[in-house]
Amino acid sequence: MKDVNTRNWFGDVTIENIKEVASAIEKMLIGKRYTFVANNADWPHEIPQVRTSQRIEPEKATDKRGISVWFDKKESPPRFAGMNVVDTYGVWGFLTSDTEKPYVVFEGEHTIKIQQKNGHGDTLHWVIAVEKDVA
């Protein structure tokens, strides 16, 4: 497996690499403000959601972790896994299984692009971009 880093990694998120992907996301976003843009439907008339000045907020999470990874506990080996990010707005993340694999792209050390399916089969397109510090 190719190392997951925040400079140039891209690929499917799998049960095997979800921890590494989550760790790379955490390294990129922890302690920084970011903008989250979500286009949550395939419809051309859908307006993207834009949330600026987001930050990871571990104190809001029940486990006090801003980013957490979890695995299916009913099956061994697990059939699916998930990653949750608790931020200023709420919670975002993704699930992976043997049939659904989110596609993640790290562009430089400032942008993450995520493409995944929702429960209705629509393709979700998300962009998370680290904001510049303004002095």
Sheet holding 67-71, edge to edge: 67-71, 80-86, 91-97
**Residues in the chain, how many?**
135
pTM score, whole prediction: 0.89
Answer for the pair 41, 54: CB distance below 8 angstroms, yes or no: no
pLDDT in tens, 53-105: 999 999 999 899 999 999 998 888 889 999 999 999 999 999 998 788 999 99
Confidence of residue 44 (pLDDT cuts 50, 70, 90): low
Question: Is the confidence at residue 1, as pLDDT, over 50?
Answer: no
Average pLDDT over residues 31-44: 87
| CA-based R_g, the chain, Å | 15
- Domains of the chain with bracketed CATH: 10-130 (2.70.180.10)
Chain mean pLDDT for the chain: 90
